[in-house]
Amino acid sequence: MPPQTRRMAFPKVVIERDTDSEQSSSEEEEEEEELEEPEVLVESENEEKVEEAKKKGKAPITISLKKVCKVCKKPGHEAGFKGATYIDCPMKPCFLCKMPGHTTVTCPHRVATEYGVIPATHKNTRNALGYVFKRQIRPRIPPIKPAYVIPDQVSCAVIRYHSRRVTCLEFHPTNNNILLSGDKKGQLGVWDFRKVYEKVVYGNVHSCILNNMKFSPASDGTVYAASSDGTVSSTDVETGIALSLMNLNPDGWRGPSTWRMLYGMDINAEKGAVLVADNFGFLYLVDTRSNDRTGKPILIHKKGSKVVGLHCNPVQPDLLLSCGNDHFARIWDIRRIEAGSSIYDLAHSRVVNSAYFSPVSGSKILTTSQDNRLCIWDSIFGNMNSPSREIVHSHDFNRYLTPFRAEWDPKDSSESLAVIGRYISENYNGAALHPIDFIDISTGQLVAEIMDPNITTISPVNKLHPRDDVLASGSSRSLFIWRPKEKSEPVEQKDEGKIVVCGRDEKKRRHRKFGGESDDSDDDKSIRKGKRFKSQSKSHSKSSLSVKVRR
């Protein structure tokens, strides 16, 4: 027998007399008992039935085949897509919340995000340091939460801009219309989304995955990037001229056990240092003046495990937050940092994709873990043994996709709004779409889920603009700029002015309608390319509105 792929393993033909193919095999067998006629067994797979037929001494007629679950290989149920809805194998724990006893379809967390919320416990932060910190910070945080402005409409896009999937995004620190994007190939895109056709891709910066980038606090024309090629680069955004600050693989490829890849990166402006971390658990410091490594690598996560994220506290830059594949996020004081010297270790049940301090006070931490949970850790001086809140959210997937990372809204002074792409699809007016979620982490509620019928791919990379009501998202190889509906351009631009299509089909697609309301056939086609639901959903929008907002 040739090795079976998943598709081949899917049950083949079922021809049953008087029975629905959906019925379980036990029912099939019962029915067979009642049959008087001799049977013919066409599918030889069903050995039980062959044996049975031999015993009875008659040739079976029934063309029959047990439907076998492709996940657990057991009969009686099936897993896989029914239209665009994926049916879980009931033998496995829920794909969404990871608890046994139910599947994603009936998971309480699927109905509304707020059910997944574990309420915040009151925390006593009685130590003096915590008190002082709170006194310093509290005046900055207004007691009343501002009304959220959600960028819910695609205002422009570059389709197939990168040749491989997008891995990170960064807005220019001073020019409001410049978006930088990195991809799996190591290329760096610079796009002016006001003049939509003004875009470049620099291919000389890195040779593989551009994992993280950050603008230089000293010069807003310079961006630093960390890559799986083991180098840290400093690139001039205008010219694309790149400088390599550190190379961890000077001897080239000597196999996977020696090849070092850089993932987490941040900049400590006070120290004038770029902090980077590799796939073996080590942290490196690079001086931005000498463009040279300072000190020795420091083991900050389990030896041999990937450190995927680094973040310096916005208020106290010496506080460093790291996260990685050893299932921990850790807090450090970089003035005295050495292996094992972490201030706190925040435990998760699986890999931690990201960990970020809150943008204004730096007193909260938001982590995204592969266990399908967002965790909020309230005070860096409080009890860090458990998160103050856990929010169940579908983002458990890593292979083939850029890991999902929940990010703070840098404009939200109340430090409660976060954005993250969703993995599982939902039925939106008959189309299977993967929305981008806005979550109020102070209540755990889903504030908004945004989607566009033309975007059928998953959007794991999302970045909120530091000053404007703009969201940039990376979905597969394409980039999208979202703005609030009410703030859409008063004069509708022509489509070709808003959407740039790169790659082979450029001419064909150039005049295609994109986004907004549309009932023309072209639009329909693009939806059909994605998965479709058999019947239209009642639970989601009836209009062509591309956003659902819960307040």
Contact positions toward DNA, by CB under 7 A?
A: 5-8, 71, 79-81, 86, 88-89, 92, 95-96, 104, 160, 163, 165, 209, 257, 304, 306, 308, 325, 327, 350-351, 370, 397-401, 423-425, 434, 456-458, 475-478, 503
**Minimum distance from residue 181 beta carbon to DNA (Å):** 14
**Three-state secondary structure readout of 512-539:** CCCCCCCCCHHHHHHHHHCCECCCCCCC
CA-to-CA separations, 337 to 286, 341, 362, 380, in angstroms, rounded: 15, 6, 20, 17
DSSP 355-376: EEE-SSS---EEEEETTTEEEE
Among all chains, which residue has been given the structure tokens 């703009």? 470
Q: Residue 113: CB partners within 8 Å, gap ≥ 6?
A: 391, 392, 393, 437, 439, 444, 445, 446
Rounded Cα–Cα distance for residues 300 and 333 (Å): 12
**Minimum distance from residue 401 beta carbon to DNA (Å):** 6
DSSP 482-506: EE-GGGS-SSPPPHHHHEEE-STTH
Rounded Cα–Cα distance for residues 332 and 268 (Å): 13
Rounded Cα–Cα distance for residues 170 and 176 (Å): 11
**Minimum distance from residue 493 beta carbon to DNA (Å):** 25
**Minimum distance from residue 378 beta carbon to DNA (Å):** 25
**Minimum distance from residue 362 beta carbon to DNA (Å):** 26
DSSP H helices, 39-107, are: 47-56
**Minimum distance from residue 94 beta carbon to DNA (Å):** 7
**Minimum distance from residue 74 beta carbon to DNA (Å):** 12
Rounded Cα–Cα distance for residues 218 and 200 (Å): 24
**Minimum distance from residue 297 beta carbon to DNA (Å):** 18
**Three-state secondary structure readout of 310-331:** EEECCCCCCEEEEEECCCEEEE
Nearer to DNA, 187 or 456 (CB): 456
**Minimum distance from residue 164 beta carbon to DNA (Å):** 8
Structure tokens at 522: 């072209």
Long-range contacts of 187-193, Cβ-Cβ distance < 8 Å, separation of 24 or more: 187/162, 187/163, 188/213, 188/223, 188/225, 188/235, 188/240, 189/161, 189/162, 189/479, 190/237, 190/240, 191/158, 191/161, 191/479, 193/156, 193/472, 193/481
Nearer to DNA, 360 or 471 (CB): 471
Nearer to DNA, 71 or 436 (CB): 71
Nearer to DNA, 146 or 304 (CB): 304
Structure tokens at 154: 């695609």
Nearer to DNA, 293 or 422 (CB): 422
Rounded Cα–Cα distance for residues 321 and 377 (Å): 12
Rounded Cα–Cα distance for residues 303 and 326 (Å): 9
In degrees rounded to 5, what are phi and psi of residue 533?
-90, 150
CA-derived radius of gyration, the chain: 27
**Minimum distance from residue 503 beta carbon to DNA (Å):** 6
Among all chains, which residue has been given the structure tokens 């082979």? 504
* Element housing 507 (H / E): helix 506-510
Structure tokens at 400: 């083939």
Nearer to DNA, 312 or 401 (CB): 401
Nearer to DNA, 3 or 490 (CB): 3
Nearer to DNA, 86 or 317 (CB): 86
Nearer to DNA, 73 or 138 (CB): 73
Nearer to DNA, 153 or 354 (CB): 354
Nearer to DNA, 380 or 472 (CB): 472
DSSP structure class, residue 350: S
Return the amino acid letter for 434.
H
DSSP structure class, residue 215: E
Nearer to DNA, 212 or 476 (CB): 476
**Minimum distance from residue 466 beta carbon to DNA (Å):** 27
**Minimum distance from residue 294 beta carbon to DNA (Å):** 28
